[in-house]
Amino acid sequence: MSERRIGVYICHCGGNISDYVDVKQVLEGIRKEPCVAIARTAVFTCSDATQQDIIKDIKEQNLDGLVVASCSPKLHLHTFRSVAERAGMNPYKYVHVNIREQCSWVHRDDKPSASRKAIRLVRGGIAKAGLMDPLQSFRIETIPKVLVIGAGIAGLRASLALADLGIGVYLIEKKQEPGGWVADMKSTFPNHRSGAGLIKGLVERVHAHEGITFFSGAELVEKSGSVGAFKALIRSGDEEPFSVDVGAMIVATGFDTYAVKEGEYGYGMEGVVTLPEFKAWIDTQPAGELVYNGRPIKTMAYVYCVGSRQAAQPDLEKPNKYCSRFCCSAAMHGAICASTLQPRVRQYHLFRDVRTYGKYETLYEDASRLGSVFLKFDGSAPPVVESNGNGLTVTVKDMLSAGEELEIDVDMVVLVTGMVARENKALNDVLKLPIGQDGFFNEIHPKLRPVETVIDGVFIAGTSQGPKTSSESVAAALSAVSKCAALLMKGYVELEPLVAQVNSDRCTGCAVCIESCPYSAINMIACDTGEVAYVNTSLCKGGGACVPVCPENAIDVLGYTDDQIESMIDAMAAEPLAEGAAT
């Protein structure tokens, strides 16, 4: 350890750090730490010029350890790993110390203490750098094929885009016919294009494309392997399951419509329909008189937010707290269709908030100009739908009429139902994707990694990850396609070497660690003395859950070994602080 030569760089980050942390004092406080060959400060360490300086230092001073004390590693860990690599140093010998988010920003009220804390943090980093071993990332050859699960508008569009890129596609659909929800729709918003027509075009192209193999009535029953090289077991109908090798998967399993309970807003009474039922009906109506089940429909009421934005209630096991966001626009579009077919139809929209966001605002505009009347109700006082012998009566407290209770006699009530996550336990058990509180699949990051999941190589798209319009579903599908392509077209993937490692001499084969791993990355393998734990490095995320549960202390996560962590603790806690910083 004493032979190590470590370079330490302390960043001002403009003034983000140096306004609160005395950077000079930190430099003095760590200069005499063991193995520190060179220590400097920089105004912006991430700047090109300073990166060049560091590379020069590494080469000239023959450094074999590097510490930068700056911002969060989320921002610049890879920047400085790359600096090390460019200077010929193993990138895993770089240690990042966060003295901005974890120090200067949170201790603005106490500058002297902030400076002292920074010294201790940097000392910990230096101690760890003294013990960092060179590591190599793993490389896995990828199979240029993708399994797309679900042949709705998202799955179909994704398959075509992948195949056009030269990536082979297995497209599986649980139902007998491809197309999903959109296949059943005539006019769709915003351009009144036929949904069935769109799907027909996609399906024809999918069938015609050599690169796509389509299986209807098919389900994924087992998944093994890891990113770049999965093995997927597929069962189609009653046939014997068969397996396909793919490098990635896109899950586009879609949504279910909110199931209105009998009696909820009068559901079950003649003339009370859900949004999909309304859509199916209005799609088949000829111009002129609107007729439902033999009765003329002259006056209609829409009740919005049915099954969405639900408040916690004792009789509601899991309220859908989210807004389904497509339904306002869909209902407006339906109202426009109704007004176009029969201009004299009277339509009352009972809403909580109109969320015809973005371009769909014009739908609200058109609906209101075509004669739709809007009534706003409070979520705590929903409308009541009752039969009046002749038809239906909707009672609502209208906030736009100063809370006046109003009765509207109507011929039809449309319950504007939202999207809910599709119940699909069998598939969830196979995929093991994390599911959010709302029941939909969770992405890693809603803004920056919107279609990636914690399982490398498995992407989500469309309404399986939350309520979306068709166009948003397709956008997500194409986003997933680009992530697949980025992964597979290189031919290999490189995986972080910061994975768990089992010391098989110590391992007793108790298998406690297997339970602790959320990624199923550990299994037991036979050895001379029986069985020991084995880590599948392509599945391991280096989460470290297995480390503390091991009774024999037989597991270490590379880059975060017990020795390294303990040395950090010792260095951080060491007394006294360097001269001049002791106060």
Among the residue ranges 219-227, 287-295, 366-374, 540-548, the one whose residues contact other proteins (CB under 8 A): 366-374
CA angle 332, 333, 338 (to 5 degrees): 95
Q: What is the sign of the dihedral through the CA atoms of 44, 46, 50 and 53? A: positive
DSSP run (H or E) holding 539: none
Among the residue ranges 35-43, 367-375, 417-425, 570-578, the one whose residues contact other proteins (CB under 8 A): 367-375
Q: How many residues bind other proteins (CB under 8 A)?
A: 21
Using CB under 8 A as the binding rule, whether residue 409 contacts other proteins is answered as yes
Among the residue ranges 25-33, 105-113, 406-414, 505-513, the one whose residues contact other proteins (CB under 8 A): 406-414
Of 47, 52, 224, 401, the one binding other proteins (CB under 8 A) is 401
Percent composition of the chain: helix, strand, coil (DSSP 3-state, to 5) = 30, 30, 40
- Judged by CB, which is closer to other proteins: 204, or 405? 405
Q: In whole angstroms, how close is the CB of 374 to other proteins at the nearest point? A: 7
Using CB under 8 A as the binding rule, whether residue 406 contacts other proteins is answered as yes
Using CB under 8 A as the binding rule, whether residue 378 contacts other proteins is answered as no
Q: In whole angstroms, how close is the CB of 495 to other proteins at the nearest point? A: 55
Q: In whole angstroms, how close is the CB of 335 to other proteins at the nearest point? A: 11
Whole-number Cα distances in Å, 113 to 18, 337, 523: 13, 67, 47
Q: In whole angstroms, how close is the CB of 411 to other proteins at the nearest point? A: 11
- Judged by CB, which is closer to other proteins: 221, or 406? 406
Could you tell me if 372 and 345 are in contact, meaning their C-beta atoms sit under 8 angstroms apart? no
Could you tell me if 302 and 312 are in contact, meaning their C-beta atoms sit under 8 angstroms apart? no
Using CB under 8 A as the binding rule, whether residue 346 contacts other proteins is answered as yes
Q: Residues near 511 by Cβ (< 8 Å), separated by ≥ 6?
A: 524, 531, 533
State how far the Cα of 255 lies from the Cα of 423, in Å rounded to an integer: 9
Could you tell me if 436 and 444 are in contact, meaning their C-beta atoms sit under 8 angstroms apart? no
- Judged by CB, which is closer to other proteins: 253, or 372? 372
Using CB under 8 A as the binding rule, whether residue 369 contacts other proteins is answered as yes
**Packing angle of the helix pair 111-129, 562-573 (nearest 10 deg):** 150
Using CB under 8 A as the binding rule, whether residue 222 contacts other proteins is answered as no
Using CB under 8 A as the binding rule, whether residue 405 contacts other proteins is answered as yes
Using CB under 8 A as the binding rule, whether residue 408 contacts other proteins is answered as yes
Residue 222 CA to chain centroid, in angstroms? 22
- Judged by CB, which is closer to other proteins: 404, or 423? 404
State how far the Cα of 480 lies from the Cα of 483, in Å rounded to an integer: 5
Segment 525-564, which members bind other proteins (CB under 8 A)?
A: none
Among the residue ranges 100-108, 401-409, 415-423, 426-434, the one whose residues contact other proteins (CB under 8 A): 401-409
Could you tell me if 81 and 25 are in contact, meaning their C-beta atoms sit under 8 angstroms apart? no
Of 368, 501, 503, 523, the one binding other proteins (CB under 8 A) is 368
- Judged by CB, which is closer to other proteins: 408, or 480? 408
Of the candidates 472, 497, 56, the residue with the CA atom closest to the CA atom of residue 464: 472
End-to-end CA, the chain: 30
- Judged by CB, which is closer to other proteins: 371, or 379? 371
Q: In whole angstroms, how close is the CB of 478 to other proteins at the nearest point? A: 36
- Judged by CB, which is closer to other proteins: 290, or 485? 290
Quick one: DSSP state of residue 441?
A: B
**Neighbouring C-beta atoms of residue 346, cutoff 10 Å:** 18
Q: In whole angstroms, how close is the CB of 178 to other proteins at the nearest point? A: 41
Q: Tell me the two tokens of residue 548.
A: 């503390």
Of 398, 443, 452, 456, the one binding other proteins (CB under 8 A) is 398
Q: Tell me the two tokens of residue 488.
A: 């597979």
Among the residue ranges 243-251, 307-315, 404-412, 517-525, the one whose residues contact other proteins (CB under 8 A): 404-412
Q: In whole angstroms, how close is the CB of 286 to other proteins at the nearest point? A: 23
Segment 513-532, which members bind other proteins (CB under 8 A)?
A: none
DSSP string, 68-133: EEES-HHHHHHHHHHHHHHTTS-GGGEEEEE-IIIIITT-TT-HHHHHHHHHHHHHHHHHHHTTPP
Q: In whole angstroms, how close is the CB of 324 to other proteins at the nearest point? A: 22
Using CB under 8 A as the binding rule, whether residue 273 contacts other proteins is answered as no
The dihedrals phi and psi of 489, each to the nearest 5 degrees, come to -75, -15
Q: In whole angstroms, how close is the CB of 407 to other proteins at the nearest point? A: 5
- Judged by CB, which is closer to other proteins: 408, or 414? 408
Q: In whole angstroms, how close is the CB of 498 to other proteins at the nearest point? A: 56
- Judged by CB, which is closer to other proteins: 113, or 401? 401
Using CB under 8 A as the binding rule, whether residue 261 contacts other proteins is answered as no
Q: In whole angstroms, how close is the CB of 369 to other proteins at the nearest point? A: 6
Of the candidates 420, 384, 383, the residue with the CA atom closest to the CA atom of residue 308: 420
Q: In whole angstroms, how close is the CB of 367 to other proteins at the nearest point? A: 9
Of 395, 520, 529, 553, the one binding other proteins (CB under 8 A) is 395
- Judged by CB, which is closer to other proteins: 127, or 336? 336
DSSP string, 546-581: HHHH-TT--EEETTB-HHHHHHHHHHHH-SSPPTTS
Q: In whole angstroms, how close is the CB of 264 to other proteins at the nearest point? A: 21
Using CB under 8 A as the binding rule, whether residue 373 contacts other proteins is answered as yes
Using CB under 8 A as the binding rule, whether residue 348 contacts other proteins is answered as yes
- Judged by CB, which is closer to other proteins: 94, or 348? 348
**Neighbouring C-beta atoms of residue 387, cutoff 10 Å:** 13
Q: Residues near 563 by Cβ (< 8 Å), separated by ≥ 6?
A: 131
- Judged by CB, which is closer to other proteins: 20, or 348? 348
Using CB under 8 A as the binding rule, whether residue 299 contacts other proteins is answered as yes
Could you tell me if 185 and 196 are in contact, meaning their C-beta atoms sit under 8 angstroms apart? yes
Q: What is the sign of the dihedral through the CA atoms of 40, 44, 46 and 50? A: negative
Q: Interface residues with other proteins (CB under 8 A)?
A: 299, 346, 348, 368-375, 395, 398, 400-401, 404-409
